[in-house]
């Protein structure tokens, strides 16, 4: 007996462009829910729904008595279903593609399980009354979803052949090291947030036991290392005449980093206004996506899915009349 996905795959063959759009939709929604989650914290709505999985002991959903904070928190919970729908579309499209691409299907299911795990983690966040370490883990799990959706989007535009390096070993190692630094930057950023004033609720909320100024300086130092590392890689790629796509990814990362740095310094000197903190959160997500794209651009896989353009008509051979 066929499972539902196999039944759909037997009746529907999506165009390659459809699979790519589904992958992009999942990526976009994974970024959106990071932003809406940040809005919950920055508006002090983290306990707008004071229990989980219900919004309150008496109601599954937010009520008018819960006010603005309840609406914000419950709205963010509903966003999980929107993200799940986008991921579900990608899973169905990837499973139905012909020829079958098991790697894409596995990536789709990885997205699903990350969402499920992070949903439970979000519930634990509420039940522990916004424990800052659980909040940080919740954000890092959301970043894990962004990671998988980014890889899925890139893989949907490639074939399934073995990876072939496009740059030399020193450059690949440098990019891998840069990716590790960028990951450390994201992790330390959760410490800055967990030690800062935006706890997610107006009541007394436990904060991380770090000196905020000190951990902010550590975060800034890591950011400078990532910027300088990206600049060095970009210049190195120009020297070795790297493929244009790799050079473009390095340039994009450098530009996003510079914009993110400006926002970070401005928010620091303005004492962390909520709007700038939210923009900085979005910027952190875009930096991570750009880093992953640079890493994945250093190799290619042959056998890319065909485009949706109709094949050119063959020109009939000329015949001579004798």
The pLDDT of residue 1: 63
How buried is 49 (Cβ within 10 angstroms: 0-12 exposed, 13-18 middle, 19+ buried)? buried
The pLDDT of residue 317: 42
Q: Strand (E) positions, the chain?
A: 163-165, 299-301
With contact defined as beta carbons under 8 Å apart, do 226 and 188 qualify? no
User: How many angstroms separate the CA atoms of 146 and 110, rounded?
Assistant: 11
pLDDT tens readout for residues 144-186: 999 999 999 999 999 888 999 999 999 999 999 999 999 999 9
* Cα–Cα distances in angstroms (integers) from residue 223 to residues 47, 256, 258, in the given order: 32, 12, 10
User: How many angstroms separate the CA atoms of 320 and 57, rounded?
Assistant: 88
pLDDT tens readout for residues 55-102: 998 899 998 888 999 999 999 999 999 999 999 999 999 999 998 899
Q: Is 301 helix (H, G, I), strand (E, B) or coil?
A: strand
Of the candidates 153, 154, 166, 147, which has an alpha carbon nearest to the alpha carbon of residue 298?
166
Angle made by CA atoms 84, 90, 95, in degrees to the nearest 5: 125
Mean pLDDT for 301-307 is 67
pLDDT tens readout for residues 242-277: 999 999 999 999 999 999 999 999 999 998 899 999
- The DSSP letter of residue 45 is B
pLDDT tens readout for residues 18-60: 999 999 999 999 999 999 999 999 999 988 998 999 999 889 9
Least confident piece of the model among 42-46, 86-90, 283-287, 318-322: 318-322
Residue 187 tokens read as 């992790």
The pLDDT of residue 266: 95
User: DSSP secondary structure string, 104-133?
Assistant: HHHHHHHHHHHHHHHHHHHHHHHHTTS-HH
């Amino acid at each position: 007996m066929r499972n539902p996905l196999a039944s759909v795959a037997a009746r529907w063959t999506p165009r390659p462009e459809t699979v790519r759009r589904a992958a992009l939709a999942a990526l976009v929604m994974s970024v959106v829910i990071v932003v809406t989650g940040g809005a919950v914290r920055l508006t002090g709505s983290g306990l707008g729904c004071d229990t989980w999985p219900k919004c309150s002991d008496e109601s599954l959903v937010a009520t008018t008595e819960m006010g603005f904070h309840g609406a914000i928190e419950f709205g963010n919970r509903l966003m999980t279903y929107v993200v799940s729908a986008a991921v579900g579309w990608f899973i169905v499209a990837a499973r139905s593609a012909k020829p079958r691409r098991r790697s894409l299907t596995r990536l789709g299911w990885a997205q699903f399980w990350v969402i499920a795990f992070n949903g439970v983690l979000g519930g634990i966040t509420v039940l522990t009354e916004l424990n800052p370490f659980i909040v940080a883990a919740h954000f890092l799990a959301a970043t894990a979803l962004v990671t998988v959706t980014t890889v899925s989007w890139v893989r949907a535009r490639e074939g399934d052949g073995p990876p072939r390096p496009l740059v030399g070993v020193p450059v690949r190692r440098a990019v891998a090291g840069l990716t590790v630094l960028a990951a450390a930057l994201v992790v330390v950023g959760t410490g800055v947030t967990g030690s800062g004033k935006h706890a997610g609720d107006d009541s007394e909320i436990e904060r991380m036991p770090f000196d905020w100024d000190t951990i902010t300086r550590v975060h800034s130092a890591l950011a400078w290392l990532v910027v300088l590392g990206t600049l060095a890689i970009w210049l190195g790629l120009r020297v070795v005449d790297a493929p244009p796509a790799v050079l473009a990814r390095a340039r994009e990362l450098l530009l996003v980093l510079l914009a993110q740095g400006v926002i970070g310094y401005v928010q620091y000197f303005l004492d962390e206004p909520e709007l700038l903190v939210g923009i900085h959160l979005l910027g952190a997500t875009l930096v991570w996506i750009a880093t992953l794209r640079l890493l994945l651009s250093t190799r290619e896989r042959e056998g890319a899915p065909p485009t949706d353009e109709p094949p050119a008509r063959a020109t009939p051979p000329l015949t001579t009349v004798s």
